[in-house]
Amino acid sequence: MTATFVRMRDQFNSVGRSAHIGIYAFGFTWGAWAALFIATALFCIGIRSKKDNTGRSRWGRKRSVRSRRSYEMGSHRVKEDYS
């Protein structure tokens, strides 16, 4: 992309028209590409991360144990008290 803009700037300047490349616009564009690349790399690393012996990944969301524990202990739901 940058090479194309540089070539076109040179063409415009060779025929007598004023042209310049906006450094802030190109910096913003290349910064956005870099951020996209980093986000994609981190996403792929997150997908392929190994799970520990409990079945959860190291950085993943922790599963709630409150509801599972209440059913394992034999307790009942509060809603069942009103029926």
Question: Residue 52: what pLDDT?
Answer: 58
12-21 pLDDT, tens per residue?
A: 999 999 888 8
d(CA 10, CA 20): 9
Distance in angstroms (rounded) separating the CA atoms of residues 39 and 52: 24
Model pLDDT, residue 38: 97
List, for residues 37-80, the tens digit of each pLDDT value.
999 999 998 888 666 555 555 655 665 555 555 555 556 666 65
User: Has residue 34 been placed in a domain?
Assistant: yes
Domain carrying residue 20: 1-49
Q: Is residue 3 part of a domain?
A: yes
Residue 44 domain-assigned? yes
Assigned domain for 22 exists: yes
pTM of the model: 0.51
Q: What is the pLDDT of residue 46?
A: 84
DSSP 5-73: HHHHHHHHHHTT------HHHHHHHHHHHHHHHHHHHHHHHHHHPPB-TTS-BSSSPPPP-HHHHHHHT
Residue 12 lies in a domain: yes
Count of domains for the chain? 1
Is residue 30 one of the residues assigned to a domain? yes
Determine, yes or no, domain membership for 62.
no
Question: Is it the case that residue 11 has pLDDT exceeding 70?
Answer: yes
